[in-house]
Amino acid sequence: MKRPFITFALLGAILLLIAHSLSHAQTQRKPWYTAYYATWNQQPLGSGSWNYEMLGQRPDEIDWTGITTIVHFGNGNCSTTSPFSDFANTSSSAWQELHYGAQGSTSVDYVPLLINTAHAHGAKAVLSLQAVDPSGLNKVASSQSNSDVFASFIASFVKANGYDGVEIDWEGSKSGNAGMMIHSLRLALDAALGTHAVIVLSPSLGDASFYPVSADADVDQYNVQLYALMWTPNDNNLTWHTCAVYPGTTTNGTQGAIDGLSNGEVGHIQKWINAGHDPAKMGLGLPSFGYVIRGADGLFQSISGGVIGHNGNMTVDQNKFCTDLLNVGGQMIWDDVRKMHYIAGTATKAYAGPNGGISQGQKFFATLASPQWIQEVVKYAKTKNYGGYMLYSLTEDLDPTKPAGHGRNIIHDALRDALGGTVGVPLPTGSLAASPATLPYGGGTVTLTWTSSNATTASIDQGIGAVSLNGSKTVSISVNTQFKLTLADSAGTVTYAATVSVSTPIVNPKPGSKNQPTNPRIRWRQITGATRYQLQVSTDSLFKSCACNDSALTDTSRQVGPLSKSTVYYSRVRASRSAGRWDPYSSLASFTTGTVATGIESDDAMPSETSLRQNFPNPFNPSTAISYQLSASTHVSLKVYDLLGQELETLVEAPQAAGSYSVTWNAAGRSSGVYLIRLTTGQYTSTRRMVLLK
């Protein structure tokens, strides 16, 4: 979100949302409340101003009641060569601003102060990846490799500084694959933090089609900007307003209200819902500012005089801007049909504001934010089951007469009260730990230990339920499990997580290995009591589509392929111990194929015997993989024959070391029929049949 003065398939979706809710959903009894803390406000209370706003408030001066997430927002560098790299350069202006604020004072480092204060109040602190110049993020989203490199850098920076995740504020012209970039961030952040990272998006109305529904599995909050719209959808001069909740009966300016018209016109966030996004992931982005417009004195009128500029925070507590407008003939109006506050009138005298001000006799109109408006927005959101709210910005238009730790921004106060918060009652804090953090395949027992402060109730998911406010408990698990401790008091709830990993039984290819054959044999350790196994191999860690999905295996290995070259594959296995009942899948193992179609397979141990395995696939067309293993170094001859015993091709004729090998035979020039493959070593000969079926 840049300062406005800088620049102006249904079933699949349902299944995706269910999967996400099982793996990522956090227990929440109340909607989220995300607030922006901007670097230009990193200064003592009242020490700055802009367009009559009161700026500045230290994190430890804020009323944190009800806030669940704080966004650390600044004008960070977003270069096209290395987006956001200046965050990590201590001599860069972006680094200086993030830590010390736009005013440049180095007396307080606001990064640890903001993060520690947020955590003390049970809130998450996330780093804003703001794109004043979108070309950087456009480059990131242009390829998988760019997305992965960017995500790795951001994850390292987030972990090093103690943030809990990121907020993506991608403005301007967008291009590339947003879902791919966000998924890379999800994988990198979760791996770096060792828990579910918070990913927040602050998109505009028109972004509903740019962010794919598949991104819902990775995004926690879409806080759609209610202030980036007004009369006409393409007039940037008429944005950055607070907006009406309902449009009334007007047909002019279709995007000027949150809700749609009865004639079928689609409302604001409904565009996202219609695109397939989950309503529970949608949040309402709330401003406390607007514009003053010449040539109109009411909502949805034709505009003739343009704008006189952003008016800073415009709220009904009548800051100087409001007072000026009331003094030149404006009236403060509450439109009870559209649920909107505004000042409107005809100027009784000239007003010397920015961009030429307002001439005497000229109509003018200014949007306002008010507690009454907030109440109507919250009431409307509840009827739609939206997930939460975002306030931009928490630390502007402040009342310095109120004591520290209490509301100083009337929009925050109104939102806090509408959500049931109580001034002066802090959110609970605590901790949750699991030991050991890693178990062998098959699982075992772990001990959970938790603490709390200021909480009145505590509970742990995974079937544990209500627990004492401080304590420990031993539980048994068999798969990767994230435990969540939920603490609650009258101010709200907070959640802490601890993850226990269960090792994979897959030993070959060795997890994380590279340059593997394109037709590897996947091997895993025998699972006690197993009668059969199911193996899945996919380029997708969610296994939506599989290169192998075999549930009829009785051996502890399976040849797969041919796979694509230079590609990351994920594998997992599970066992069936009784008819019709399967264990949960093992943890994922990954490997990367090489650039050629043959090669020696890596393994933890040398083969104990020499053998020739059945080719795979069989029947085949036109290629098949032929695997064999050598218990000792020897001369190897691997040849193809027809049924008459005539030699057709020599695939291998060379000395080879002990190990496991795989060779691909391409029979594109052969006719359909049965062929023989014969392996001959010094003391061993074996022949198998292969069926070419075209």
Cβ proximity of 496 and 460 under 8 Å: no
Best CA proximity match to 170, nearest among 206, 143, 220, 124:
206
Cβ proximity of 502 and 43 under 8 Å: no
β-bridge mates for residue 688, sequence order: 677
Res 479: pLDDT: 74
Does residue 626 register a pLDDT over 70?
Answer: yes
In order of start, what are the domains of the chain with their CATH numbers?
Answer: 29-226+268-288+369-418 (3.20.20.80), 429-502 (2.60.40.10), 605-694 (2.60.40.2550)
pLDDT tens-digit series, residues 301-335 = 666 656 555 444 455 554 566 777 888 888 888 88
Q: Which of 63-67, 132-136, 158-162 has the highest mean pLDDT?
A: 158-162
Higher-scoring residue by pLDDT: 405, 186: 186
| Cβ burial, residue 93 (10 Å; 0-12/13-18/19+) | middle
Does residue 472 register a pLDDT over 90?
Answer: yes
Average pLDDT score over residue span 200-218:
85
Q: How far is CA 89 from CA 163, 333, 509, in A?
A: 17, 50, 39
Q: How far is CA 103 from CA 76, 88, 110, 279, in A?
A: 15, 20, 12, 40
User: From edge to edge, which strands make up the β-sheet containing 306-313?
Assistant: 306-313, 289-294, 363-367, 340-346, 331-335
CA of residue 129 relative to chain centroid, distance: 12
Does residue 166 register a pLDDT over 80?
Answer: yes
- Quote the mean pLDDT of the chain: 78
Confidence of residue 570 (pLDDT cuts 50, 70, 90): very high
Res 215: pLDDT: 92
Cβ proximity of 262 and 305 under 8 Å: no
Q: Residue count of the chain, please give it.
A: 694
Cβ proximity of 414 and 374 under 8 Å: yes
pTM of the predicted model as reported, rounded to 2 decimal places: 0.56
Does residue 227 register a pLDDT over 60?
Answer: no
Higher-scoring residue by pLDDT: 42, 305: 42
| Axis-axis angle for helices 410-418, 371-384 (nearest 10) | 40
pLDDT tens-digit series, residues 642-679 = 988 889 999 998 888 777 788 888 898 899 999 999 99
Higher-scoring residue by pLDDT: 337, 236: 337
What three-state secondary structure class fits 664? strand
- Quote the CA–CA distance of 204 and 8 in Å, as a whole number: 13
The answer for residues whose C-beta is within 8 angstroms of residue 519's C-beta and 6 or more apart is 559, 560, 561, 562, 563, 597, 616, 625, 627, 662, 664
Half-sphere exposure of 13 (CA within 13 A, CB side): 14
Average pLDDT score over residue span 603-620:
76
Higher-scoring residue by pLDDT: 525, 190: 190
And the tokens for 36? 């922006």
Does residue 38 register a pLDDT over 60?
Answer: yes
| Lowest model confidence (mean pLDDT) among 227-236, 344-353, 668-677 | 227-236
- Quote the CA–CA distance of 185 and 217 in Å, as a whole number: 12
What three-state secondary structure class fits 104? coil
And the tokens for 378? 């919250």
Q: Which of 86-95, 208-217, 258-267, 305-314 has the highest mean pLDDT?
A: 208-217
Res 22: pLDDT: 38
Helix (H) or strand (E) run with residue 169 in it:
strand 165-170
Res 11: pLDDT: 44
- Quote the CA–CA distance of 419 and 371 in Å, as a whole number: 12
Does residue 454 register a pLDDT over 50?
Answer: yes
β-bridge mates for residue 222, sequence order: 201, 282
What DSSP string describes 565-615? TT-EEEEEEEEEEETTEEPPPPPPEEEEE-SSS-EEEP-SS--SS-EEPPP
Average pLDDT score over residue span 418-443:
76
Q: Which of 311-325, 414-428, 480-494, 677-691 has the highest mean pLDDT?
A: 677-691
CA angle 165, 224, 214 (to 5 degrees): 65
Cα maximum dimension of the chain = 108
Half-sphere exposure of 651 (CA within 13 A, CB side): 23
Higher-scoring residue by pLDDT: 606, 552: 552
pLDDT tens-digit series, residues 585-600 = 887 888 988 876 554 4
Average pLDDT score over residue span 200-219:
86
Res 8: pLDDT: 32
Confidence of residue 640 (pLDDT cuts 50, 70, 90): very high
Res 407: pLDDT: 59
Cβ proximity of 364 and 325 under 8 Å: yes
Does residue 165 register a pLDDT over 90?
Answer: yes
Average pLDDT score over residue span 385-397:
80
Res 332: pLDDT: 81
Confidence of residue 410 (pLDDT cuts 50, 70, 90): confident
Average pLDDT score over residue span 167-188:
88
- Tally helices (H) and strands (E) across the chain: 10, 40
- Quote the CA–CA distance of 21 and 27 in Å, as a whole number: 10
Confidence of residue 513 (pLDDT cuts 50, 70, 90): confident
Nearest 10 degrees: Cα torsion 384, 388, 392, 396: 110
| Lowest model confidence (mean pLDDT) among 102-106, 171-175, 347-351, 445-449 | 102-106
Res 12: pLDDT: 46
Does residue 173 register a pLDDT over 70?
Answer: yes
| Lowest model confidence (mean pLDDT) among 29-43, 73-87, 199-213, 608-622 | 73-87
- Quote the CA–CA distance of 354 and 357 in Å, as a whole number: 5
Confidence of residue 255 (pLDDT cuts 50, 70, 90): very low
Radius of gyration of the chain (CA): 31
Average pLDDT score over residue span 130-136:
60
Average pLDDT score over residue span 627-633:
85
Phi first, then psi, for residue 290 (nearest 5°) are -165, -160
Phi first, then psi, for residue 135 (nearest 5°) are -60, -30
Does residue 424 register a pLDDT over 90?
Answer: no
Average pLDDT score over residue span 533-544:
90
Does residue 473 register a pLDDT over 90?
Answer: yes
**Whole-number percent of the chain with pLDDT over 70:** 75
Res 235: pLDDT: 37
Average pLDDT score over residue span 456-484:
90
| Lowest model confidence (mean pLDDT) among 125-129, 186-190, 297-301, 569-573 | 297-301
pLDDT tens-digit series, residues 266-282 = 556 777 888 888 888 98
Q: Which of 13-27, 291-305, 353-367, 412-426 has the highest mean pLDDT?
A: 353-367
pLDDT tens-digit series, residues 680-694 = 998 888 999 999 988
Cβ proximity of 499 and 519 under 8 Å: no
Best CA proximity match to 146, nearest among 211, 58, 71, 81:
81
pLDDT tens-digit series, residues 375-389 = 888 888 888 888 899
pLDDT tens-digit series, residues 101-132 = 766 566 778 899 899 999 988 899 999 887 54
And the tokens for 177? 């694959």
Does residue 541 register a pLDDT over 70?
Answer: yes
